[in-house]
Structure 1
Amino acid sequence: MKTNTVFLALSLGVSLFASSALAETRITYKSAKTGSSYYQMGVQLAEAMKAGTNGDIIVTVEESQGSVQNVMETKARGGDYVFTTPPVLVTLAQGGKAMFEGKGDPKFDEIRALFPIPSLTMHFVMSADSGVTDFAGMENKTILLGKGSFGATEGEKYLKLFGLEGKVNLAEVELSNAVPALKNGQIDGFVTAGSWPAPNVIEAAASTDVVVLSLSDEQITETKRAKLVIPAGTYSGQTADITTTSLPVAAFTTTAMSDDAAYQLTKTFWESKASMSEGAPWWKGVDTALMANITSKLHPGAIRYYTEAGVELTAAQQ
């Protein structure tokens, strides 16, 4: 009798342990470099997922060297992999174009979207002392573009588009030193891309008078990027809306992820967004209107959530 009791207790213990283990889903979230705003977002998402699911979903944030790497890693990852990238890169990967030419893989066709996150937003930040209020005024000024980032590449493209190529002095300073360089007059302005409010723009506006340039509708059309409006009051001294461009970014996984896991991730993200916005204003810029920027297929589990929530999806997303 005693042996049977011990056996029953052990059986119940193993059963309960198995149920607990099955209930917990572990996810690897690959976003950006440590210290970047997108890495911080990953940490916030991890905390929100743990709190919103009572620990049923545990997210580990993994440093990344960039969006292209994130897409490439789907070749070797399993159903626990979530990554961030601009939707356009998924389209290019699935078509074997641009940076993915000659590097195609059947796994790319299994990539599926979950939800949008804050867009990469262009900021052209000029010191008030420079007197620059539009792009034409940047001629003969010293501008910091940085190197190797999306913001640097995009900023260089805009200078060419708007007739400023060779007419602007490009500073040989790291972007991490942009704010002190602006304050001491070493540069007249800097270009940065990130979520808004951008931490380095907040710092610059708080420490010196700055002007963040707006683009006209014609200029935005020339860039072939999405239009984005940063509301007045976002930055210190900003009395009017800033009209600029953005590159949409979203969280993706693959069909290897279970429908239930994708559903829970998507549902918890949207239900946690309001609380995340209280501690990090960049989440306020995310709403269901950004779903239109996801041009590839959504994961079936995510589709289940959007259907329940009454969010209209395009044919391409389904």
Structure 2
Amino acid sequence: MTFLKPFVVAAAVAACAMGTAAGAETRITYKSAKAGSSYYQMAVQISEAMKAGTDGAISVTVEESQGSVQNVMEVRARGGDYVFTTPPALIGLAQRGAAMFEGKGSPAFDEIRALFPIPSLTMHFVMSEASGVTSFAEMEGKTILLGSGSFGAREGEKYLGLFGLEGKVTIADSELSNAVNALKNGQIDGFVTAGSYPAPNVIEAAASTGVTVLSLSPEQIAETGRTALTIPAGTYAGQEADIDTTSLPVVAYTTTKMDEETAYQLTKTYWETKADMAGDAKWWDGVSVDMLSNITTQIHPGALRYYKEVGATLSDAHM
């Protein structure tokens, strides 16, 4: 019988272990939004981009969500493979145990760390060309569809009040899904929607009936308390000038349970495949490294490593 020397056996075992590690697949759960929503579609795109960009080394499973608050709350029971999306403001509320997190605080919330921004929810006040409306003041006496229950509906109602239009416009009793047809048929003069630009329903309305998407003045934007955002000229058919509006930033987060290398690879692959994703959906063109300024809490050390490599502007809050 032939016996292998101990160091030969050890070397063989080590080589086998290295081969296993090299071929190991990192599995990530990405929790985003309701199935059928634009944010769920973005999650699917990110999943596909991670697989392609890492040659299968990172596998992302997309989970449907009922909303951003649920995404944050699940941090308490999740591990280092959990990535979720939410507006940055909710992270601050969770860490302070304020608003919808009152009485539901957890030390786990303090371990939340940002990875990268994704397309923002962007406010669109869409008026038909036939209405002749080009400013908020001219909306008086018009019929507007807000929809119900969504961020856009709540925000639209809030803006009507802020800009002196409460009780001066007729609110159509219909769902936002009917907005484009109602606009074509002259049943409404305009509608309000919040989505990542270019928004599909605004694209359809602009192409089929002609619309004006209203701009907000700097004073109006400040009054809303939201983040300013510019929709570049040419985004929609017939749009010859930039549109100044407001947005609700949205960011992908994880926690300190995720190891640094995984966070680095996720962040690096996201930015390196963003242009490819934009080839399928133009809303990715609206995302830039400058949007790191919308992140108000700490960034994961692995993601920080990437941002320092590319010379991104970071703040003390990110460290």
TM-score interval w.r.t. the shorter chain?
over 0.9
CA distance in 2, matches of 1:128, 1:14: 68
Q: What letter corresponds to residue 20 of structure 2 in structure 1?
A: A
CA contact (8 A) 2:31 2:62 kept: yes
Q: Structure 2 counterpart of 1:306, which letter?
A: Y
- Counterpart secondary structure, 1:58: strand
Shift of 1:19: 2.7
> 2:244 matched to which residue of 1?
243
Q: Distance in 1 between matches of 2:26 and 2:140?
A: 54
Separation in 1 of the partners of 2:98 and 2:315? Answer: 24
Partner of residue 154, structure 2? 153
Report the 3-state secondary structure (helix = DSSP H, G, I; strand = E; otherwise coil) of the residue aligned with 2:59.
strand
Task: Write the deviation string for residues 252-282 of structure 1: whole angstroms up to 9, x where unpaired.
Answer: 0011111111010001111111222222211
- In 1, the alpha carbon distance for the partners of 2:289 and 2:99 equals 29
Q: In the alignment, which residue of structure 2 is the partner of 1:85?
A: 86
Matches within 5 A, 1:172-183: 172-183=173-184
Q: Verify: 1:273 aligned to 2:246, yes or no.
A: no
The alpha-carbon distance between structure 1 residues 226 and 12, as it changes in their structure 2 partners (threshold 3 A), is closer
1:78-113 per-residue CA deviation (whole Å, 9 max, x = no partner) reads 111111111111011111111111111111111100
Q: Distance in 2 between matches of 1:116 and 1:93?
A: 19
Match of 2:120 in 1: 119
What is the aligned partner in structure 2 of residue 67 from structure 1? 68
Rounded to whole Å, the distance in 1 between the matches of 2:96 and 2:188 is 41
Q: How far apart, CA to CA, are the structure 2 residues paired with 1:132 and 1:244?
A: 16
Number of equivalent positions: 313
Q: Describe how 1:1-318 pairs up with structure 2 within 5 A.
A: 15=17, 18-19=20-21, 23-318=24-319
- Hey, what's the Cα distance between the residues in 2 that align with 1:13 and 1:311? 39
Deviation above 2 Å: which 4+ runs of structure 1? 10-21
Q: Is contact 2:117-2:251 (8 Å) kept? A: yes
TM-score normalised to structure 2 length: 0.93
Q: What is the distance in 2 between the residues matched to 1:300 and 1:261?
A: 10
Secondary structure at the residue paired with 1:82?
Answer: strand
Q: 1:145, CA displacement in angstroms?
A: 0.9
Query: TM-score normalised to the size of structure 1?
Result: 0.93
CA distance in 1, matches of 2:97, 2:52: 39
After superposition, the Cα gap between the structure-2 partners of 1:12 and 1:317, relative to the gap in structure 1 and judged at 3 Å, is closer
Post-superposition Cα deviations, 1:4-43, rounded to whole Å, max 9, x if no partner, equal 9xxx9x979975773356x311111111111211111111
State how far apart, in whole Å, the 1-side matches of 2:194 and 2:215 are.
14
Structure 1's unaligned 5+ residue stretches are none
Q: Is the 8 A contact 2:145 2:172 kept in 1?
A: yes
1-structure distance, mates of 2:234, 2:178? 25
Whether contact under 8 Å (2:33, 2:68) holds in the other structure is yes
Q: After TM superposition, give the deviation of residue 194 of structure 1 in Å.
A: 1.0
Residue 149 (structure 1) shift = 1.1
Q: C-alpha displacement at 1:141, in angstroms?
A: 1.4
| Uncovered stretches (5+) of structure 2, i.e. residues with no partner | none
Q: CA deviation at 1:189?
A: 0.9
Question: Per-residue deviation at 1:53?
Answer: 0.5
SS of the counterpart of 1:148? coil
Alignment partners' CA distance in 2, 1:169 and 1:63: 35
3-state secondary structure, aligned to 1:70? helix
CA shift digits 1:190-215 (9 cap, x unpaired): 11111110111111111111111110
Matching residue's letter, 2:261: D
Match of 1:221, SS state, is helix
Query: C-alpha offsets along residues 168-223 of structure 1, whole Å, 9 cap, x if unaligned?
Result: 21111111111111111221111111111011111111111111111011101101
> 2:141 & 2:105 partners in 1: Cα distance?
44
Could you tell me which amino acid in structure 1 is paired with residue 235 of structure 2? T
